[in-house]
């Protein structure tokens, strides 16, 4: 096919002088993971709040939650990335906007990427949280109120602890999505794994070695996440709900 | 928002829709058709009693689902010219435009997701349907084609369409291979006239209106199918 394979290129030094190409890619993976983890914190916190609010009985609160979810679900991730990177700093007061734009690299790309991924994923987390709360028997909430707990205490001590343990499997796949989606940050200049594979291809002309190495790194990351989450799922399984926790049903 | 320049949007409207949106919609529709066909084949392979076939299809689906779409777009962008050269027995990698490269990418990538939907759809059909097919003397392909797949497809139609809305949004990622889709066209105008705020806000609004309307349609369809 006229393509010259050269796997040794992975151990050749990269032009930036930081080490081998393999090391260059691994640092990229570290950026992907750092971005994904920071965004995941935002996604979990905001998602849990929005998802919970959408199950309350206040119509206005539910409506605001619905609008939030629809907005961030119906705009492509890449467009949202551009909004956070190009548009938001312009809409802020001039001083603040300029400070954001003048952050030294890689932070100028990292911060908008984290905010974008966090909010984008929070919508999906909110949907899962809402579904998890909805799947609990109504008696749980009634019993909590009957025992004299306030609405807040009922959520805090009875409903949410159960809901979160039930939705752990779908949250795992959302976490894997956030790692994969962090690659979209390459469009605003974050040098994460996919961006570095692309850069390696331009430096070395070894397209398929670069992409194959990146692919393997993504697959290994996936496997580690799956094993880790399976372990956590086992530890926090709700007693008596083994069938759901084991991920059999759906 | 005093400095918001509405004029640039109005001026570039014909370019954005006739060039950009046409690219986006053509890509979405063709990739959906190709993805559903290939995805259904993959689903049948995954459910096959012949283990090697099931393993190959399962491996393909899991591979596609574990790497980012951006990386898949890059893979195919560089791989397709070599595969083309191999099929056509050419010496050198052939030239493939951004559109065909994107079309192949999205068909192959979305097929993995459509596969999982169709697999769930096929598994939701009661076993008795298959047995009665065989009892009537139909072979595997006839049973699949006339009995199982039409029902599975109908049951899964809302989910398939929801996946298509995701596909529609995902096509914006062809930006990374500099294709002129709706976002790509807007980005070109934005950078030429230095009107990033106006163009990207407009793009977001248009994507929102289309995706939101489609999702409302899917919801209505779902309610109609559910009643039977």
Whether the predicted pLDDT of A244 surpasses 80: no
pLDDT on residue A19? 85
pLDDT reading at A248 higher than 60: no
Tell me the CA distances in angstroms from B189 to B17, B85, B193, B198, one per residue in order.
13, 35, 6, 10
Residue B126 lies in a domain: yes
Q: Give per-residue pLDDT as tens, B139-157.
A: 999 999 999 999 999 999 9
Unique residue bearing structure tokens 């548009």: A87
Which whole number is the average pLDDT over B31-36?
97
Residue B27 lies in a domain: yes
Q: Is the pLDDT of residue A90 over 50?
A: yes
Q: How large is the average pLDDT for residues A61-68?
A: 94
Tell me what pLDDT residue B167 has.
97
| Residue B37 pLDDT | 97
DSSP-H helix ranges across chain A: 21-53, 59-73, 77-82, 88-91, 94-101, 107-135, 138-146, 151-153, 160-166, 168-181, 193-204, 207-236, 242-245
- The pLDDT, as a whole number, for residue A241 is 65
Q: Would you state the torsion angle of the CA atoms of residues A61, B214, A120, A62, taken in this order, to the nearest 10 degrees?
A: 10
Suggest the residue from A29, A76, A182 to mutate for an interface test with chain B (most B CBs closer than 10 A).
Answer: A76
Reported as half-sphere exposure (CB side, CA atoms, 13 A), residue B72 has a value of 25
For residue B58, the model assigns a pLDDT of 95
- Give strand pairing partners of A20: A13
**Among residues of chain A, what percentage have pLDDT more than 90?**
65
Whole domain around residue B107: which residue ranges? Answer: 6-227
Q: Would residue B109 count as lying in a domain?
A: yes
Q: Do A222 and B207 touch (CB under 8 A)?
A: no
pLDDT of the residue at B111: 97
How far apart CA B108 and CA B63 sit, in angstroms, is: 11
**DSSP state for residue B177 in the 8-state scheme:** G
Decide if B131 touches A, using CB distance below 8 A: no
The predicted model gives A185-192 an average pLDDT of 93
Three-state SS for B60-76 is HHHHHHHCCHHHHHHHH
Which among B66, B176, B200 is the nearest to A86, CB-wise? Answer: B200
B4 touches chain A (CB under 8 A): no
Where residue A125 falls (left for φ over 0; alpha for ψ -120 to 50; beta otherwise) is: alpha
Q: Provide the 10 A C-beta neighbour count for residue B202.
A: 20
How high does pLDDT run on average in chain B?
92
pLDDT band of residue A54 (cuts 50, 70, 90) is very high
On chain A, the residues whose CB falls within 8 A of the CB of B164 are none
pLDDT band of residue A1 (cuts 50, 70, 90) is low
- Strand, coil or helix: B159: helix
SS3 at position A1: coil
Measure the CA–CA gap between A193 and A183, rounded to whole angstroms: 7
Q: Is the model's pLDDT at A2 over the cut of 80?
A: no
Q: Is B86 on the interface with A (CB under 8 A)?
A: yes
Answer whether A181's CB lies under 8 Å from A121's CB.
yes
Confidence at A75, pLDDT banded by 50, 70, 90: very high
CA distance B92 to chain A (A): 7
pLDDT in tens, B1-27: 557 788 888 888 899 999 999 999 999
Mutate to test the interface with A, among B74, B109, B163, B205 (most CBs of A within 10 A): B74
What pLDDT does A247 receive? 40
**Which of B167, B172, B207, B214 is the best substitution to test chain A (most A C-beta atoms within 10 A)?**
B172
Taking all residues of chain A, what is their mean pLDDT, rounded to a whole number? 89
Give the tens place of pLDDT for each residue, A116-145: 999 999 999 999 999 999 999 989 999 999
Q: How far is CA A209 from CA A13, A219, B47, B172, in A?
A: 15, 15, 33, 26
Query: Which residues sit opposite A13 in a β-bridge?
Result: A20
Residue B117 has pLDDT above 60, yes or no: yes
**Which member of A90, A219, A222 has the closest CB to residue B197?**
A90
- Spatial CA neighbour of B103 closest among B185, B192, B18, B27: B27
- Say yes or no for a CB contact (<8 Å) between A87 and B169: no
The tally of domains found in chain B comes to: 1
Task: Tell me which of A100 and A191 has the higher pLDDT.
Answer: A191
A26 pLDDT more than 90:
yes
pLDDT at A204: 87
Q: How confident is the model at residue A246 (pLDDT cuts 50, 70, 90)?
A: very low
Is a pLDDT exceeding 70 seen at residue A46? yes
B184 located within any domain:
yes
Handedness of CA A17, A21, A26, A30 (dihedral sign): positive
B81 CB within 8 Å of a chain A CB: no
Q: Do A194 and B74 touch (CB under 8 A)?
A: yes
Instruction: Decide if B50 is inside a domain.
Output: yes
Chain A nearest-CA residue for B215? A74
Question: Which residues are CB-neighbours of B101 under 8 A, at least 6 positions away?
Answer: B76, B77, B80, B177
**Structural domains in chain A, sorted by start:** 20-245 (1.10.3720.10)
Looking at residue A250, its pLDDT comes to 34
CATH at residue B170: 1.10.3720.10
Question: Is the confidence at residue A249, as pLDDT, over 60?
Answer: no
> Which pLDDT belongs to residue B2?
53
| Tokens found for residue B213 | 């309307």
Structural domain contains residue B1: no
- B210 versus A2: the higher-pLDDT residue is B210
Chain B CB contacts of A82 below 8 Å: 187, 196, 200, 203
Query: What is the rounded CA–CA span in Å between residue A85 and residue A113?
Result: 8
pLDDT of amino acid A107: 87
């Amino acid at each position: 096919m006229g393509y010259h394979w050269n796997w040794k290129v992975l151990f050749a030094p990269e032009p930036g002088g930081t080490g081998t190409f393999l090391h260059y890619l691994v640092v990229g993976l570290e950026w992907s993971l750092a971005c994904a983890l920071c965004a995941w914190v935002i996604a979990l916190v905001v998602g849990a709040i929005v998802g919970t609010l959408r199950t309350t009985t206040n119509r206005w609160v539910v409506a605001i939650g619905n609008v939030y979810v629809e907005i961030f679900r119906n705009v492509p991730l890449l467009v949202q990335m551009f909004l956070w990177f190009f548009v938001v700093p312009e809409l802020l007061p001039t001083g603040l906007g300029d400070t954001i734009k003048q952050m030294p690299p890689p932070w100028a790309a990292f911060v908008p990427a984290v905010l974008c991924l966090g909010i984008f994923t929070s919508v999906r987390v909110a949907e899962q949280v809402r579904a998890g709360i909805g799947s609990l028997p109504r008696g749980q909430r009634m019993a909590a109120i009957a025992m004299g707990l306030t609405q807040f205490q009922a959520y805090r001590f009875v409903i949410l602890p159960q809901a979160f343990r039930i939705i752990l499997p779908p949250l795992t796949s959302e976490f894997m999505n956030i790692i994969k989606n962090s690659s979209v940050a390459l469009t605003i200049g974050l040098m994460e794994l996919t961006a570095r594979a692309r850069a390696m291809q331009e430096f070395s002309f070894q397209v398929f070695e670069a992409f194959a190495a990146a692919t393997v790194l993504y697959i290994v990351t996936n496997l580690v996440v799956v094993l880790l989450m399976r372990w956590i799922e086992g530890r926090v399984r709700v007693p008596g709900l083994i069938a759901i926790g084991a991920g059999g049903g759906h | 928002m005093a400095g918001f320049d509405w004029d640039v949007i109005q001026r570039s409207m014909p370019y954005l829709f006739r060039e950009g949106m046409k690219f986006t919609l053509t890509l979405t529709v063709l990739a959906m058709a190709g993805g559903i066909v290939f995805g259904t084949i993959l689903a049948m392979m995954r459910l096959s009693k012949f283990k090697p076939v099931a393993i190959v299809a399962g491996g393909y689906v899991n591979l596609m689902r574990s790497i980012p779409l951006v990386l898949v777009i890059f893979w195919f962008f560089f791989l397709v010219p070599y595969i083309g050269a191999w099929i056509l027995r050419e010496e050198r990698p052939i030239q493939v435009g951004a559109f065909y490269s994107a079309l192949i990418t999205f068909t192959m990538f979305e097929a993995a997701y459509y596969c999982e939907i169709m697999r769930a759809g096929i598994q939701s059909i009661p076993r008795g349907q298959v047995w009665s097919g065989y009892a009537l003397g139909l072979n595997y392909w006839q049973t699949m084609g006339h009995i199982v797949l039409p029902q599975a497809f109908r049951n899964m139609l809302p989910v398939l369409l929801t996946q298509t809305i995701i596909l529609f949004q995902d096509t914006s990622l062809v930006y990374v291979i500099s294709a002129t889709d709706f976002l790509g066209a807007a980005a070109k105008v934005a950078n030429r006239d230095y009107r990033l705020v106006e163009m990207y806000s407009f793009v977001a609004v248009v994507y929102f209106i289309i995706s939101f309307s489609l999702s409302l349609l899917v919801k209505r369809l779902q309610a109609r199918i559910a009643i039977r």
